[in-house]
Amino acid sequence: MRASVELQPLAKIRGMGMRIARHRLHPARLGSLAWATFRAVLVIGISFVIVFPLLVRSSLAFRAVEDMMDMTVNWVPRNLTLVNFQIAMKHMDYLKSVAITTLICLLLAAIEVAMCMVIGYGFGRFSYPGSQLLFGLVILSLMIPPSVVMVPLFLNFRYFTIFGLLKEPGLNLIGTSWPLILMSLTGTAKKNGLFIYIVRQYFKGVANELEEAAYVDGASPLRAFVSVMVPNAGPILMVVFLFSFVWHWNDLFYSDLFLKGMKVLPLALQSLTERFAYSWADPNIDGSHITLVSSAAMLLYIVPLLILYAVLQRHFVESIEKTGIVG
Amino acid sequence: MKARRLLPRLSLHSQRALMGFAFTIPFAVGFALFLLYPFVQSVMLSLSELSLSPDGFTTTYVGLRNYHHALFVDPQFRRVFVETLGGMLIDIPAILMFSFFAATILNQKFRGRLLARVVFFLPVILGAEVFVQIDQTHYMSQALGMASKGIVDIEHMKVIFGNTTATKSAVEFLMDSINRIPQIIQASGIQILVFLAALQSIPPSLYEAADVEGATGWESFWKITFPLMVPMFMVNIVYTIIDTFTSPSNRLMMYIKSSAWARGGYGVSVAMSWFYFLALLLILGVAVALVSRGVHYES
């Protein structure tokens, strides 16, 4: 017996010591235990607050109408049904809307990645008289509330004359995705100033040697950008692409302004709820349907994003840390 | 040969300047066409009355009438304006404090940290603007108190605290603050990301040195973490103010947008958004001035 005790590895003996110490509950240990408990409660509580609307909507979306009148139904529906989803999909023309929205968002995100990389690179690596001023305007472009320029923008795109080049009354670009494409091409679409800022910060932090090596090998600045700088900027490309895609997907302001009449998800969801809210004259739609159907519709709206997030969540969370936005 | 003499050889410095200009020119064009030009137009519009016709639009000068209309004739603008700004003054510091706190927690090592991060950034993904609109206009769901109900129900609280006038206002204030919590948490995603990224960039050797010197966790937080985070507060304050102000889902933005197509018309809506823009500049200026006093950049 004695021999076996002596042969015990050091780590195990240390472990025994720890166990004894835990029994005694040192004040320091008690403190960290209390903090861990407090932290766990907080994290779970905050997570609950974030997930709560999703839970409410999921609970509602699977209910039959009778459950709304049933006082015993609080969270779990008594009559599970997919009827709400069917109605919502039919009224939103779901598959078609998802396809169109995905296409538009992919196109805009691709354009914005390309343009914000170019513009941000220009601000990050070069300086010329007035470049500081122009960058100040990038920040200003973030600050102007969209409602200030909303009406003039609408009018300019409604009677689009390329600012005087075409004859009056010009083209009507409302109801097409051209206004958004034009704004993306010039880095002035939704929150593009932020992307330009992030890209600029990133390129500012890249070592000079990388670029100089390209020049020594005889590359032009454009060539250095395309073949050396961009391939090394993977994480930042990812950040801009993901945020651009998600923000366009969730956008209502510009979609409502420019895409009127197009089958895109935000407008489809908006018209669905309006249709059900003012349909008391329609005997086919029961009054309590609206909450259930719109809950189902909201879930359908976010499902594609949830899938995207599930697949790419590591990039969402970790890429910002890699971008060097901080220093 | 002739062409070369016409175009003098540029020095490397001015070549690079030209190159930088070429890279940034798309934004300059976009800014001029899609922001500056509409911006000037919006000043003109706010001073005139607009009438649309099939082959264009005409404006007639009316002076400051739209501004007068926005302030004194419009039944709700002043109330919505004050309420929204007042709400923001509570929300903005709350968002900053919460996101800093959440980032410090998410930076610690504990079981399920990855999952917690995934959940905390969920609002960045799921912030569909149309949902806010649905929740606000959705009288049925409000009547049923389901989709848009807060965490705590005001009727329950009234029962608990008694429904006298004295307790009523106190309870309502409390409820209002509590029901702001989800909104604050939902608006903190990006700020948490920025703080978290900054926290992770602090070299661990600083903490090790402090540990060797016998500093407690509390001390090293205030002596190391906090001072290094102060510049990030600046970034996040500016971001938070701009984000809450320009978010199309805030009530005033919705009101301004809806009055463009109804009530007073374009001119009044633009006049309203000018008041709003001025308020934004004022608050941003005050906040930056206050905070920049406390920021010491490490050179």
| Pairwise CA distance, residues A23 & A17, whole Å | 10
Q: Report pLDDT for B232.
A: 84
Calculate mean pLDDT across residues B214-238.
86
Shared-domain flag, residues A101 and A236: yes
* Structural class in CATH, domain B66-294: mainly alpha
| Pairwise CA distance, residues A200 & A131, whole Å | 12
Shared-domain flag, residues A38 and A90: no
- Residue B52 has phi, psi (to 5 degrees) of -95, 145
A contacts of B137 (beta carbons < 8 Å): 273, 277
Nearest CA in chain B to A125: B20
Residue with tokens 């999703």: A54
| Pairwise CA distance, residues B39 & A258, whole Å | 18
User: What is the span of the domain harbouring residue A16?
Assistant: 2-50
Shared-domain flag, residues A138 and A17: no
Which sign does the torsion angle of CA A213, A218, A224, A227 carry?
negative
Q: Residue B37 and residue A144: Cβ atoms within 8 Å?
A: no
Query: What is residue A226's DSSP assignment?
Result: I
Spatial contact of B82 and B287, defined as CB atoms under 8 Å apart? no
Q: Report pLDDT for A245.
A: 92
B contacts of A326 (beta carbons < 8 Å): 194, 197-198, 201, 232
Q: Letter for the amino acid at B146?
A: M
| Pairwise CA distance, residues A99 & A107, whole Å | 12
Q: Residue B147 and residue A127: Cβ atoms within 8 Å?
A: no
Of residues B42, B128, B151, nearest to A49 (C-beta) = B151
Length of chain B: 299
Both structure tokens of B211:
């540990």
HEC sequence for chain B: CHHHHHCCCCCHHHHHHHHHHHHHHHHHHHHHHHHHHHHHHHHHHHCEEEEEECCEEEEEECCCHHHHHHHHHCCCHHHHHHHHHHHHHHHHHHHHHHHHHHHHHHHCCCCCHHHHHHHHCHHHHCCCHHHHHHHHHCHHHHHHCCCCCCCCCHHHHHHHHCCCHHHHHHHHHHHHHHHHHHHHHHCCHHHHHHHHHHHHCCCHHHHHHHHHCCCCHHHHHHHHHHHHHHHHHHHHHHHHHHHHHHCCCCHHHHHHHHHHCCCCCHHHHHHHHHHHHHHHHHHHHHHHHHHHHHCCCCC
Q: Residue A302 and residue B128: Cβ atoms within 8 Å?
A: yes
Shared-domain flag, residues A111 and A191: yes
DSSP-assigned states of every residue in A134-180: HHHHHHHHHHS-HHHHHHHHHHHHHTB-TTTTSPTT-B--TTSSHHH
ipTM score here? 0.79
In a domain, A258, yes or no: yes
Shared-domain flag, residues A174 and A318: yes
Closest to B113 measured CA to CA, from B123, B124, B102: B102
Nearest CA in chain B to A270: B130
Both structure tokens of A128:
């010329």
In a domain, A268, yes or no: yes
Shared-domain flag, residues A192 and A305: yes
Shared-domain flag, residues A250 and A146: yes
A176-180, B145-149, B154-158: least confident range = B145-149
In a domain, A67, yes or no: no
- Residue B208 has phi, psi (to 5 degrees) of -60, -45
Q: Mean pLDDT, chain B, as a whole number? A: 79
Q: Residue A145 and residue B131: Cβ atoms within 8 Å?
A: no
Residue with tokens 């903190």: B188
In a domain, A222, yes or no: yes
Calculate mean pLDDT across residues B165-171.
70
State the DSSP H helix or E strand holding residue A231, giving kind and residue range, or none if neither: none
Q: Residue A119 and residue B123: Cβ atoms within 8 Å?
A: no
Shared-domain flag, residues A152 and A24: no
Structural domain tally of chain A?
A: 2
Shared-domain flag, residues A229 and A308: yes
In a domain, A155, yes or no: yes
Shared-domain flag, residues A118 and A43: no
Can you give the pLDDT of all 327 residues of chain A as single tens digits?
444 444 555 555 455 555 554 555 677 788 888 888 999 999 999 998 888 888 888 888 888 877 777 777 777 888 788 888 888 888 888 999 999 999 999 999 999 999 999 999 999 888 888 888 999 999 888 888 887 888 888 888 888 877 666 666 677 888 888 999 999 999 888 889 989 988 888 888 777 887 888 888 887 778 888 888 888 887 788 888 888 999 999 988 888 889 988 889 999 988 887 777 666 656 556 555 777 888 889 999 999 998 988 888 777 666 666 655 554
| Pairwise CA distance, residues A276 & A286, whole Å | 9
| Pairwise CA distance, residues B171 & B174, whole Å | 5
Closest to A189 measured CA to CA, from A135, A269, A266, A110: A110
Residue with tokens 């984000």: B243
Torsion of CA A305, A306, A308, A312, to 10 degrees: 130
HEC sequence for A246-303: HHHHHCCHHHHHHCCCCCCHHHHHHHHHHHHHCCCCCCCCCCCHHHHHHHHHHHHHHH
Measure Cα distances from A183 to A47, A191, A261 in Å.
36, 11, 20
Q: At what angle do helices B12-30 and A94-125 cross, to 10 degrees?
A: 150
Residue with tokens 């973030």: A142
In a domain, A32, yes or no: yes
Q: Letter for the amino acid at A145?
A: P
In a domain, A59, yes or no: no
Q: Report pLDDT for A2.
A: 46
Q: Report pLDDT for A158.
A: 83
Both structure tokens of A289:
């349907």
Spatial contact of B93 and B295, defined as CB atoms under 8 Å apart? no
Q: Report pLDDT for A271.
A: 85
Q: Which residue, among A33, A50, A117, would best test binding to B if mutated, counting the most B CBs under 10 Å from its CB? A: A50
In a domain, A65, yes or no: no
Shared-domain flag, residues A99 and A31: no
| Pairwise CA distance, residues A192 & A185, whole Å | 10
A contacts of B118 (beta carbons < 8 Å): 309, 313, 317
B contacts of A266 (beta carbons < 8 Å): 128-130
Calculate mean pLDDT across residues B101-122.
88
Looking at the predicted structure, is the pLDDT value of residue B210 above 80? yes
Highest mean pLDDT among A102-106, B88-92, B195-199 belongs to: A102-106
Both structure tokens of A306:
């949830």
CATH number at residue A279: 1.10.3720.10
From A2's Cα to the closest Cα of chain B, the distance in A is 38
Both structure tokens of A200:
């600029």
Looking at the predicted structure, is the pLDDT value of residue B101 above 70? yes
Looking at the predicted structure, is the pLDDT value of residue B144 above 50? no
Calculate mean pLDDT across residues B223-233.
85
From A315's Cα to the closest Cα of chain B, the distance in A is 11
Q: Report pLDDT for B184.
A: 87
Shared-domain flag, residues A171 and A258: yes
Query: What is residue A9's DSSP assignment?
Result: -
From B165's Cα to the closest Cα of chain A, the distance in A is 30
| Pairwise CA distance, residues A320 & A121, whole Å | 18
